[in-house]
Chains A and B, each alone.
Chain A
Amino acid sequence: MATHNTSMSSLEADVLVIGGGSTGVGVARDAALRGFSTVLVERRDLADGTTGRFHGLLHSGGRYAVKDPSAARECIAENRILRVTAADCVEDTGGLFVSTPWDDPEYGDLFLEGCRATGVPAEEIPVAEALRREPRVNPDIRRAFLVPDAALDPWKLVWGCARSAEEHGARILPYHRVLDLEAEGDRVVGAHVRSERSGEEFEIRATVVINAAGAWAGQIAKLAKCTVNVRAGMGLMIAMNHRLVHMCVNRCKRPADGDILLPLRTACVIGTTDVFVPDPDETEIRQADIDLLLDEGEKLVPGFRQARALHAWAGVRPLFEDTAEVAETRDVTRSHALLDHSSREGIAGFLTITGGKTTTFRLMAEAAVDAACQQLGGPRECTTAEVPLAGSESHVLYQIGHRLAVREPVPQAEEVICECELITRARLEDTIKQRDTTSLDDIRRLLRLAMGPCQGGFCIYRATGILHAGGNLDGAAANRTLLDFLEERWKGIHPILHGDQLRQARLDDWIFQGILDVEHLPA
């Protein structure tokens, strides 16, 4: 499994991928499958960037059918591929486009025409049928359309790709930060990296370096003295405690803020906004944006503001533009861009793949590795459209009841550590061992630990105890990881804290401070 405890002076590979989001791991997997020796570095945890912070919509293309036809075509093609190759990461929820009283019903005709023209299967259904399937949706909708949207689990996707890549010899190195790119003349030959966990620095030499750093691609490119104009568009998302809808529900209108509500495992997510931010690492959640999402949610699902909001977070989408000026980041094409810097700036051995969206990650990866082949001795066939990811070999699509079903018929035959997300002790201990991590946050991303209604109120004490008892870390370190987790968790809770979630947060305060007294732990 991916390791970040490296101890070496240098590594050599055909391909070095910078960036551990869907694009990066997609590239690493594709390259490894084609037989190239591959190393991937990511400064934080895999999928900690854009991929881990989007809403999980596996686009049918419907959303782009009117405004961005090429993106729509790409989406439906990749949608079909991922349902087969990444089945375990995909839930076939289906998608619904609805015209609410705030939307122009005639847009529906444009929508149908756009779908037809781009090959996105779309069908208008009676409003009564839509409401039968989705009883919480606004009863005053005027039109409804079915499309094959689906819900994607980004962590499963990224880790599935990473495991696949490793199975084919790649080395995946999270918590390794690129400090500089090494050049010899006008050719990039590798990178100087530091392990964030051990502090150790070393070189990675590669024939081709692929910059898949998403919203940070510009920063990486600068290290090679190349220019990549990626604008960071911050998008806010709110997870609601339970599935108010079972399908991906979209507003049938020109894409705008807060017009998607879709299931994300046991929760559902309303998104999103689009605010240009100069620094992709600086994403502050503003109350006005929270209110906007809650209000838009209320239009789609009456009573939305009384429903329980679990967590809020911001992701940044990478919007590449070759021109300097663009009015609104939303208007930039969502298609990706492959930049071969040898032709752009005369710097060989360096490619950037940027823009795009998670739905088309595989396509982006294919384009990047195809281009890399030119500098690696000639074309090799891409098989990622056929070969299933690790974990998806059975081609069985994910079902929401899965974690519940595996516990039958005797649900208490195993210890359940995180009850909200049904994570067993065995699963937790396996993950700790495989990931070789002592960070509760790393575990959280992989297992969804503490991502349910109680937001860790019960399971974090248990997980900390288990981590400590396993010998992985001493008392002081265990305390540290617990306290860090509480601080980190709070960032996503306090912006949307009201109603039921405030009750929960107060109970959690009583548990952590009143019962356990974490504030007075020894150093």
Chain B
Amino acid sequence: MSYDTVVVGAGLAGLTAALRLTEQGQRVLVVARGVGATHLAPATVDVLGYAGDARVESPASDVAALVASSRDHPYGHVPAGDLTAALDWFRARTEALGYAGRLEENLLLPTALGVPKPSALAPRTMSGGDLRMGGRFVFVGFRGFKDFHPTLIADNIARARLPTPISARALELVLPAQRRVDMSGRLIAGQFDTENLSEWLINALRNRVDPDERIGVPAVLGLRRGDEIWQELETRLERKVFEVATLPPSIAGIRLFDALTNALRAGGARIVLGVRAVGARTTRARIDAVDVANATGTVSHPTGAVVLASGGFASGGIELDSFGAARETVFDLPLIGIPEADRVRFAPGYFDAQPLAGAGVGTDDLLRPVDSEGSPVFTNLHAAGAILGGAVPWKEKSGTGISVATGYAAARAVLAPAAPAVAESVP
């Protein structure tokens, strides 16, 4: 089967690029080894949370400074205006999830450890937790749900560095009689979806929360009906309710994944999970087809362009062997940010700057991976997301921002006349 673009990777970057291309009329195939980091990360769009030790209040201004000082940073390869356009596009395509926020000011949302974390966009089930306005908070946990500890959250958040002080307390509820004691977030979300758990929650909270208290619950309010249940809670409790992201699985992230993949399928794109892109057929500096390994062998998909969104070390997009050699695992692309062979790979302190942290693929301004001379390795190959080097996203809190921005920009580059795309498919 041949396609206009093959996207390798079904994480946020890959899905963004694929959806953008699909809605522009391309025939797109997404191949992935499995589902990606959407299921693990908090579902917020974090553009930039920290510049060094300083917490970023306005990503719009700080991104420019970051890009100026950090030559290889992925944001530096995103065309001017694309960051804003990408976020606007993202919000439009996830309208049902009601993403709130602006590039000009970060929200401050509590983590499951009670630390205020900056995010540019958050789904409406989460954005009510914005700590910037102060106020009174109550964090609610469920006995048997070990991935959320409200007393610790309340303790820490009350002592956090915030623009306006807040007060916080904790409440632990006992779930209605369960057939099992060890409840995962997925199971609880399923009960919200199908067993009317919201009724129990409303009754349990109604008389135990003051009218001016905002209620923080773990992000498990339902997988299919998450937004609906959140609305029901707010309406019937007449208070602000917000979800707090916690350890994987990220239910809010799965909602995002489902929204994007449903849109892709509705647009006619093909998504194949459980397969592995293993290489390409090429003619000189152009990819003609992507080789994908499946149950028995390898199938070659002729394609006009390729977007590589295979993730970094965490997803196996890059690997380090026991001899210290690093490799990009699909196309064997050159990598940046790899220390010299005899240099140490890891600093002894966990929070020290780690030599390998910024490793990844380096690109030109069309997000095409480049060789040591700066020339694109393949004229029709673009990269997006965590595979890109030059950033330490978990530290600076920029992972999902980079994914959306570079996914969007990669799609633009595929469609642009400069790239040898399949002209007939572009409207």
Contacts and interface: CB of A to CB of B under 8 A. Distances in A.
The reply, when asked whether chain A contacts chain B directly with Cβ atoms under 8 A, is yes
Interface of A: 294, 305-306, 309, 410-417, 425, 458, 461-462, 464-466, 468-469, 474-476, 478-479, 486-487, 489-491, 494-495, 497-499, 502-503, 506-507, 509-511, 513-523
Contacts of B320: 497-499, 502
A305 B144 CA distance: 40
A305 B322 CA distance: 6
A417 B247 CA distance: 13
Contact of A475 (B37, B117, B155, B312): B155
Nearest to B324: A498
Interface residues of B, number: 54
A344 B159 CA distance: 61
20 contacts: A306-B321, A413-B182, A415-B181, A461-B112, A461-B113, A461-B147, A461-B149, A479-B156, A494-B347, A499-B322, A503-B316, A507-B40, A511-B247, A513-B394, A516-B113, A519-B351, A520-B115, A522-B115, A522-B156, A522-B160
B379 interface: no
A499 B117 contact: no
B349 interface: yes
B155 A490 contact: no
B265 interface: no
Interface centre among A416, A475, A489, by most chain B C-beta atoms within 10 angstroms, is: A475
B111 interface: yes
B413 to A, nearest CB: 27
B111 A475 contact: no
A475 B180 contact: no
Contacts of A514: 41, 393-394, 397, 399
Contact of B115 (A458, A465, A521): A521
Contacts of A486: 350
Given A468-B152, A516-B111, A521-B113, A412 B394 contact: no
Given A468-B155, A499-B321, A514-B399, A522 B113 contact: no
B396 to A, nearest CB: 10
A294 B152 contact: no
A139 B40 CA distance: 41
A461 B247 contact: yes
Given A465-B146, A498-B324, A520-B116, 17 more contacts: A305-B323, A414-B181, A415-B146, A415-B181, A466-B146, A468-B155, A490-B348, A497-B345, A497-B346, A503-B313, A511-B248, A514-B393, A514-B399, A515-B41, A516-B112, A520-B115, A522-B159
B149 A519 contact: no
A414 B182 CA distance: 6
A1 to B, nearest CB: 25
B317 to A, nearest CB: 10
Contact of B149 (A465, A490, A517, A520): A465
B182 A416 contact: yes
B312 A506 contact: yes
A37 to B, nearest CB: 43
A515 B115 CA distance: 10
A491 to B, nearest CB: 7
Nearest to B154: A475
Contact of B151 (A469, A495, A509, A519): A469
A414 B394 CA distance: 33
Given A412-B180, A491-B348, A502-B313, A515 B245 contact: yes
A336 to B, nearest CB: 35
Nearest to B245: A515
A496 to B, nearest CB: 8
B316 to A, nearest CB: 6
Given A486-B350, A516-B113, A499 B319 contact: yes
Given A502-B313, A506-B314, A513-B394, A415 B182 contact: yes
A425 B159 CA distance: 28
A477 to B, nearest CB: 10
Contacts of B180: 410, 412-413
A489 B116 CA distance: 25
A240 to B, nearest CB: 12
B161 interface: yes
Contacts of B156: 475, 479, 521-522
Contacts of B152: 464-465, 468-469, 475, 478
A515 B399 CA distance: 11
What 7 A-B pairs come out closest when comparing CB atoms?
A: A465-B149, A475-B155, A490-B350, A494-B346, A514-B394, A412-B180, A506-B314
A489 B350 CA distance: 9
B159 A475 contact: yes
Chain B contact residues: over half helix, strand or loop, or mixed? Answer: loop
Interface of B: 37, 40-42, 55, 111-117, 144, 146-149, 151-152, 155-156, 159-161, 180-182, 245-248, 312-316, 319-324, 345-351, 393-395, 397, 399
A498 B338 CA distance: 13
A98 B242 CA distance: 62
Interface centre among B144, B316, B350, by most chain A C-beta atoms within 10 angstroms, is: B350
B40 A510 contact: yes
B249 to A, nearest CB: 11
A522 B156 CA distance: 6
A468 B149 contact: yes
Interface centre among A305, A478, A491, by most chain B C-beta atoms within 10 angstroms, is: A478
Chain A contact residues: over half helix, strand or loop, or mixed? Answer: helix
Nearest to A475: B155
Nearest to B395: A513
B395 A462 contact: no
A412 B182 contact: yes
Given A413-B181, A475-B159, A515-B42, A487 B322 contact: no
A498 B321 contact: yes
A494 to B, nearest CB: 4
Contacts of B40: 507, 510-511
A515 B185 CA distance: 16
Contacts of A469: 149, 151-152
Contacts of A462: 146-147, 149
Interface centre among A306, A465, A517, A522, by most chain B C-beta atoms within 10 angstroms, is: A517
Interface centre among B42, B111, B397, by most chain A C-beta atoms within 10 angstroms, is: B111
B182 A515 contact: no
A416 B144 CA distance: 10
A397 to B, nearest CB: 29
B385 to A, nearest CB: 13
Contacts of B181: 412-415
A497 B356 CA distance: 11
B260 to A, nearest CB: 20
B255 to A, nearest CB: 17
B351 A510 contact: no
Contacts of B116: 520
Nearest to A424: B182
Contacts of A461: 112-113, 147, 149, 247
A517 B246 contact: no
B394 A510 contact: yes
Contacts of A517: 111, 113, 115, 117, 397
Contacts of A491: 348
Contacts of A516: 111-113, 115
Contact of A305 (B41, B155, B321, B347): B321
Contacts of B246: 515
B113 A510 contact: no
A465 B395 CA distance: 23
B349 A490 contact: yes
Interface centre among B112, B182, B395, by most chain A C-beta atoms within 10 angstroms, is: B182
Contacts of A513: 394-395
B247 A458 contact: yes
B155 to A, nearest CB: 3
Nearest to A309: B322
A255 B269 CA distance: 62
Contact of A510 (B160, B314, B324): B314
